[in-house]
């Protein structure tokens, strides 16, 4: 823990110094006092200027910092506090900047951090930070109307706003803050028994919801809220690859398929290890701390929490550390009543329409996680990729199947396990829309022009409904994984199986045709993917049609793709061999 703390202080000092060089010092600029971020301007959002306010504040009050009581840093902090007041809208909100203008939830993120900064400064007995603290308190007070009336976009936003209400209540003691929080909490917590939040975002939003609910529980003494946090933290033990990379293969948010590590979980594991005296949480805290290279959003700043809650260090310093598992095979959400919940959608009445958000229909889908030392496998339905594997440094990022039937990527909707075989299945439907019954036709249909968009398409009868079934069977055999894919007897459906590989490796094979931009056709035989001494062999290829890509499919940049082209009906077995 001492090593992690020293790293946090050193990196915070480096950030504090670097931020001064990016602070806008032109009094004529509307960004005066802010810190220029990656957008080229200074913003008041939680990943921008408030991050540097946190860095300067932590440095100023910490005797272990080389900027402790620095007059220069204090002056930068005071200018930045002015910037926050000047960029705050009349309604008390701030704007994210990349999107979300006059945004209550993004204001909630900022409140989550600035409340902590204010409390840290307010209790520090040095005149150099008193004016800045007063300005930040004014900023927070101005946010109260927006927090009392503002709405959200995404599921996690509810808990961000609830936490902001709690943290504001901790300072201002206004009873209406608690009343508004209770309105959000009355919606119930959106987490499975195995610990998965709606957005299934292991890289970003798990940590957001966890830290938000921790602060809500802390301020209002509601320990029952911590049970959801515990569930997610226990689940995350099984959702880390050997390298420390978090499993993002099935995320419902922007971390999908991107590379994230455990750094953002450091604070919540630390706080919960102390609260529960839990050896697993303590071990995960130590592990997560090794990945911190820069601060997270201001609401989840690691050093800020360390300085604000020094008693936590005493509570976990001598706490036993559990050995984290490196051999397991488990199915998360195996018993979650997903199908039962989905069957109730029609009765709700929203017709799957929600503004500025998503329904997240994959919530609660099962996920298979298998770990054997430096080997890591994920099998999952309801996602574009159904299988991923890590073998040392070699990364098979995913395997996906696309067809011309629907058309596009197949998301398998069922997963069953029997005798060590993982079976995925999907039944696709596609029909044709008949004429609208006369009694439903609008008046515009009898006019000189009948716009297509004014017709009630929802009442068209379906004709010639067609189905197409696909199944996948996955089985481990020693160092091999066999993947059998078979279709029903429908003829001439163009199909493409794609192996998605990390960009850092070398792809080589005998009958491998270059398709440009990191794309290949495996026409026959095997292909080998190598990263240093770690190799994966994939076999065997096929080239039954000439289409380079199927409609509605897409291959984002930054990966390599090996395609196998099939035409139904087929029953093919592929082998992924670890060398």
The 10s digit of each residue's pLDDT in 57-77 is 999 999 999 999 999 999 999
390 and 254 in a common domain: no
Binned at pLDDT 50, 70 and 90, residue 1 comes out as low
Tens of pLDDT along 30-67? 999 999 999 999 999 999 999 999 999 999 999 999 99
Q: Does residue 134 lie within any of the structural domains?
A: yes
Domain range enclosing 548: 374-578
Listed residues 327, 359, 392: the one ending a domain? 327
Instruction: Please state whether beta strands 414-418 and 408-409 pair in parallel, antiparallel, or not at all (unpaired).
Output: unpaired
Q: Is the pTM higher than 0.75?
A: yes
Tens of pLDDT along 484-497? 999 999 999 999 99
The rounded percent of the chain whose pLDDT value lies above 90 is 89
Tens of pLDDT along 430-454? 999 999 999 999 999 999 999 999 9
Reading the block at residue 512, the tokens are 């491998």
383 and 302 in a common domain: no
Q: How many CB atoms lie within 10 A of CB 480?
A: 12
Q: Does residue 528 lie within any of the structural domains?
A: yes
Residues 6+ apart with CB under 8 A from 459: 436, 437, 440
Binned at pLDDT 50, 70 and 90, residue 398 comes out as very high
Residue corresponding to tokens 């629907």: 406
Region 119-130 average pLDDT: 96
Query: What is the distance between the alpha carbons of residues 383 and 79, in angstroms, rounded to a whole number?
Result: 47
Region 368-395 average pLDDT: 95
Reading the block at residue 401, the tokens are 């199947």
Q: Whole-number mean pLDDT of the chain?
A: 95
412 and 481 in a common domain: yes
500 and 565 in a common domain: yes
Question: Residue 470's beta-bridge partner residues?
Answer: 426, 487
Region 105-131 average pLDDT: 97
| Count of alpha carbons within 13 angstroms of residue 241, beta-carbon side | 24
Tens of pLDDT along 255-293? 888 899 999 999 999 999 999 999 999 999 999 999 999
Q: Does residue 334 lie within any of the structural domains?
A: no
**Ranges of H-type helices in 150-264:** 155-172, 175-185, 205-220, 226-236
502 and 416 in a common domain: yes
568 and 512 in a common domain: yes
Could you give the number of structural domains in the chain?
Answer: 2
379 and 306 in a common domain: no
Residue 152, pLDDT above cutoff 80: yes
- What is the model's pLDDT at position 508? 93
Q: Does residue 356 lie within any of the structural domains?
A: no
Residue 522, pLDDT above cutoff 60: yes
484 and 429 in a common domain: yes
Region 174-202 average pLDDT: 96
Residue 112, pLDDT above cutoff 80: yes
End-to-end CA distance of the chain: 37
Binned at pLDDT 50, 70 and 90, residue 383 comes out as very high
Residue corresponding to tokens 């299988």: 387
- What is the model's pLDDT at position 550? 93
| Count of alpha carbons within 13 angstroms of residue 475, beta-carbon side | 11
Exposure class string for 248-263: b at 16+ Cβ within 10 A, else e? bbbbbbebbbeebbbb
- What is the model's pLDDT at position 539? 93
Q: Does residue 194 lie within any of the structural domains?
A: yes
Query: What is the distance between the alpha carbons of residues 360 and 362, in angstroms, rounded to a whole number?
Result: 5
Exposure class string for 529-563: b at 16+ Cβ within 10 A, else e? bbbeebbbbbbbbbeeeeeeebeebebeeebbbbb
DSSP annotation of 320 reads P
417 and 544 in a common domain: yes
What region, left, alpha or beta, does residue 97 occupy, with left being phi > 0 and alpha being psi -120 to 50 degrees? left
Residue corresponding to tokens 């902090």: 77
98 and 10 in a common domain: yes
390 and 288 in a common domain: no
Q: Does residue 177 lie within any of the structural domains?
A: yes
Region 408-419 average pLDDT: 93
Binned at pLDDT 50, 70 and 90, residue 473 comes out as very high
Query: What is the distance between the alpha carbons of residues 275 and 227, in angstroms, rounded to a whole number?
Result: 12
Query: What is the distance between the alpha carbons of residues 295 and 47, in angstroms, rounded to a whole number?
Result: 9
Listed residues 270, 301, 327: the one ending a domain? 327
Q: Does residue 241 lie within any of the structural domains?
A: yes
- What is the model's pLDDT at position 198? 95
421 and 315 in a common domain: no
Query: What is the distance between the alpha carbons of residues 21 and 290, in angstroms, rounded to a whole number?
Result: 28
CA dihedral sign of residues 423, 398, 548, 404: positive
* CATH number of the domain where residue 78 is located: 1.50.10.100
Region 169-181 average pLDDT: 97
The rounded percent of the chain whose pLDDT value lies above 70 is 100
Listed residues 266, 292, 327: the one ending a domain? 327
Q: Does residue 357 lie within any of the structural domains?
A: no
């Amino acid at each position: 823990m001492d090593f992690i703390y020293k790293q946090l202080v050193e990196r915070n000092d480096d950030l504090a110094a670097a931020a001064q060089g990016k602070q806008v010092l032109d009094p004529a600029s509307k960004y005066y006092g802010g810190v220029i971020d990656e957008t080229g301007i200074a913003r008041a959002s939680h990943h921008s200027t408030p991050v540097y306010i946190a860095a300067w504040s932590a440095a100023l009050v910490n005797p272990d910092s080389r900027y402790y009581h620095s007059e220069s840093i204090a002056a930068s902090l005071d200018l930045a506090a002015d910037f926050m007041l000047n960029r705050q809208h009349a309604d008390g909100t701030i704007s994210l900047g990349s999107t979300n203008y006059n945004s209550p939830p993004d204001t909630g993120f900022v409140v989550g951090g600035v409340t902590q900064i204010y409390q840290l400064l307010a209790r520090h007995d040095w005149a150099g930070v008193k004016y800045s603290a007063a300005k930040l308190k004014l900023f927070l007070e101005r946010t109260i109307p927006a927090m009392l009336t503002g709405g959200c976009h995404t599921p996690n936003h509810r808990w961000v706003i609830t936490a902001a209400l709690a943290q504001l209540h901790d300072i201002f003691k206004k009873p209406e803050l608690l009343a508004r929080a209770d309105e959000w909490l009355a919606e119930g917590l959106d987490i499975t028994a195995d610990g998965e939040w709606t957005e299934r975002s292991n890289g970003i939003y798990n940590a957001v919801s966890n830290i938000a609910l921790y602060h809500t529980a802390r301020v209002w003494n509601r320990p029952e809220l911590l049970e959801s946090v515990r569930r997610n933290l226990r689940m995350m033990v099984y959702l880390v690859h050997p390298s420390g990379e978090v499993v993002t293969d099935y995320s419902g948010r922007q971390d999908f398929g991107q590379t994230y590590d455990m750094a953002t979980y450091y604070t919540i594991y630390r706080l919960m290890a102390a609260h529960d005296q839990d050896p697993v949480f303590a071990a995960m805290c130590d592990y997560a701390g090794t990945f911190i290279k820069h601060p997270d959003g201001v609401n989840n700043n690691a050093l800020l929490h360390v300085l604000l809650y020094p008693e936590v260090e005493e509570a976990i310093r001598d706490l036993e550390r559990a050995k984290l598992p490196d051999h397991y095979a488990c199915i998360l959400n195996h018993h979650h009543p997903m199908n039962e919940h989905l069957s109730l959608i029609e009765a709700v009445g929203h017709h799957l329409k929600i503004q500025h958000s998503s329904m997240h229909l994959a919530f609660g889908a099962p996920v298979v996680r298998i770990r054997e030392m430096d080997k890591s496998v994920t099998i999952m339905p309801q996602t574009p990729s159904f299988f991923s594997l890590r073998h040392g440094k070699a990364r098979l990022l995913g395997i996906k199947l696309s067809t011309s039937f629907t058309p596009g990527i197949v998301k398998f909707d069922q997963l069953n396990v029997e005798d060590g075989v993982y079976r995925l299945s999907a039944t696709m439907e596609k029909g044709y829309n008949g004429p609208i019954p006369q009694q439903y036709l609008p008046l515009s249909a009898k006019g000189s022009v009948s716009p297509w968009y004014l017709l009630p398409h929802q009442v068209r009868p379906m004709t010639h409904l067609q189905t197409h079934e696909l199944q996948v069977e996955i089985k481990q055999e020693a160092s091999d994984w066999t993947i059998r894919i078979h279709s029903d007897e429908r003829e001439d459906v163009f199909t493409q199986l794609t192996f998605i590989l990390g960009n850092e490796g070398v792809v080589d094979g005998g009958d491998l045709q270059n398709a440009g931009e990191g794309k290949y056709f495996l026409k026959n035989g095997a292909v080998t993917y190598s990263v240093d001494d770690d190799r994966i062999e994939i076999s065997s290829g096929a080239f039954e049609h000439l289409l380079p890509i199927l409609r509605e499919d897409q291959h984002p940049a930054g990966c390599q793709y090996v395609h196998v082209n099939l035409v139904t009906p087929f029953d093919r077995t592929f082998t992924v061999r670890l060398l």
